[in-house]
Amino acid sequence: MLISFDQKEYQKLNDRSYRLEKRRLQIELLKLQEDVIKNKRRICIVFEGRDTAGKSSAFKFFAQYLIPKNFKYVNLGIPTKWESSHWFQRWTKILPKKGEIAFLDRSWYTRALTEPVMGYCNEKQYRDFMGRVIPWEESLQDEGIEIIKFYFSLSQDQQQRRMKARKQSELKYWKLSPNDERIVTKWDAFTLYKEQMFERTSPESSPWIKINANNKMIARLTALRFLLNQTLYENKKLLKPLIWSRKINNYKVLLEGVEFNNLNYDQYMILTNYMDDE
């Protein structure tokens, strides 16, 4: 049950309308967090996707105005030898506590994607994971953990552009590791494992939500709106997206501290593809 969520209204927004919609959604997200705290709920939000898809910046977007002590950001990095052979125990330790939202920048699904592609796990470990992950998630849901699984999808040429921009950036070059450059060369293998993951790990109880991340600004709004659409919380007042016109010709973009003004729509959409932050 793969869900592809596309918010077409967001394809025509400019800088001002983006910030307005962002504010409206972040107000609702704060209401959701207050409900989580009040009712001792446990929400686990998974961000998966290829390198440069915008997982980290999506977290920053979601968490900007949340109450800090009641959410956590998780990026575990390279597993130890013990963690590699005790995969689910590794992730059990970081699950949200009562009254908390956990944002996972990559998750236990690393074993379904990066690890087999790069040879970091063996075939037996991969098959064991694929056979056990859904029953494990169902056991977490039985304990009251609400799981939302986002996959940020981008095209190969878009990833190549972002990799090149990151490599040449004086501020973000450090984000590009040798491992990142190697996995980019394995696009087809990653695609194969991704499709197997979607096919075998997207039940109705915890489906994958596929977000088009070719434009990061649109992807963030779309993902947050999906979360708010699908989640119940007190005082919910989720307004429909506004409709904007591409006839506007005063777009602007802040890119690595430099502001580009008086852009037309096409120029604006090209530049926003390279944005990591707001």
Alpha carbon separation from 96 to 67, 125, 210 (Å, rounded): 15, 25, 23
Q: What single-letter amino acid sits at 165?
A: A
Alpha carbon separation from 95 to 67, 89, 108, 137, 256 (Å, rounded): 18, 10, 11, 11, 34
| 162 domain residue, yes or no | yes
CATH of residue 172's domain is 3.40.50.300
| 143 domain residue, yes or no | yes
Total domain count, the chain: 1
SS3 273: coil
Q: How many residues does the chain have?
A: 278
Domain membership of residue 182 as a residue range: 3-244
The single residue listed with the structure tokens 């991340």 is 213
The stretches of 107-155 forming alpha helices (DSSP H) are 114-118, 123-142
- Kindly report the backbone phi and psi dihedral angles of residue 127, in degrees, each rounded to the nearest multiple of 5, phi listed first: -65, -35
| 38 domain residue, yes or no | yes
| 260 domain residue, yes or no | no
| 249 domain residue, yes or no | no
| 202 domain residue, yes or no | yes
pLDDT, tens only, 64-93: 999 999 999 999 989 999 999 999 999 999
pLDDT, tens only, 181-214: 777 789 999 999 999 999 999 999 999 999 999 9
| 28 domain residue, yes or no | yes
| 270 domain residue, yes or no | no
Q: What confidence category does residue 245 fall into, taking pLDDT thresholds of 50, 70 and 90?
A: very low
Structure tokens at 92: 């059990």
